[in-house]
Amino acid sequence: MKIKFLGTGAADWPNPGKSVGAGRRFSSLVLDDRILIDCGPMTLDAIDEFNVDVHALDAILIGHPHGDHFNLDVICQIARRRDASAKPIVLYIDEEAAKNRCTVPEDLADRLQVKGFLPLNCLQVGDYAVHAYPASHPIGIPGELACHFIIKTPTNETMLYGLDGSWFPPTTWHAIQKAKLDIIVWELTCGNLDDWRLGEHSNFGMLKIMANAFKNDGAIQKHTKMFCSHLARTLCPSHDIYARELDTFGFTLAKDGMEWTS
């Protein structure tokens, strides 16, 4: 399994343009060079800066359709960059958002497909099994829902992608309990703060509780790699300071452009 973080920030980061420097773009990552998870308005610049091959992408997964995680114009630009003879790239997104916000332009009819899904659906994304589970994160648009993903790779490795959200709903919690996780991407929007946003986001105290519980259940094992992403600019310490603190507890603070291979 290989992941590359294209963005690791929450929605309060300014757009850095072509070079992210010491900042963060909105959160997204690429799995095994083949699956782009989340695609917001800054993702195309990250694709260019970190040399992502758009021709290798098979699919785009959207955990929830907030504007920092989903931008149809950018997705269309990715589709237009690909060879016209290539298989269509498939966009997987919440079913209601697929109906109401994902009209494919005529020139991309053969290059971009849209498939809606609901929480508790299992998506067969090529040879990856992607299970969608409810997230505690309101969208604010009637009918639209947020999900976390448990992804099983062709090499039989399992990743939990948990952006955005607060405490896991019971259905999601029980699914994670039964998993054997090789990698986790946690959301850490609120840093160490007990902030009002905890109703729909997480802080580090919450992550430590959840990690300890999943260790007790066997879902998190000795080799499980845990990353923290989706940091709010106004709520979290600077990267170098915070990375050292998180490492003490076995968490790796992700930054834009970071790669990891199992």
Dig out the tokens for 252 from the structure: 């790796």
pLDDT score for 214: 98
Prediction pTM value: 0.97
What domains can be seen in the chain, in order of their start residue?
2-256 (3.60.15.10)
Rounded CA separation 130/149 (Å): 6
Residue ranges of the chain whose pLDDT lies below 50: none
Residue found by looking up tokens 């919690």 in the block: 173
Question: Are the C-beta atoms of 76 and 105 separated by less than 8 Å?
Answer: yes
Rounded CA separation 188/8 (Å): 10
Rounded CA separation 221/223 (Å): 5
**Length of the chain, please?**
262
The DSSP code sequence of 69-88 is TB-HHHHHHHHHHS-TTSPP
pLDDT score for 144: 97
> CA 83 from chain center: how many Å?
26
- Render pLDDT for 28-81 as a digit per residue (tens, 0 to 9): 999 999 999 999 999 999 999 999 999 999 999 999 999 999 999 999 999 999
Backbone dihedral region of 203: left (phi > 0), alpha (psi from -120 to 50 degrees) or beta? beta
Give φ, ψ of 121 to 5 degrees: -75, 150
Single out the residue of 182, 184, 178 nearest to residue 218, CA to CA.
178
Dig out the tokens for 78 from the structure: 């990715």
**Judging by DSSP bridges, how do beta strands 112-117 and 2-7 pair with one another?**
unpaired
Rounded CA separation 233/74 (Å): 23
> What is the C-alpha R_g of the chain?
17
Residues 6+ apart with CB under 8 A from 216: none
pLDDT score for 119: 97
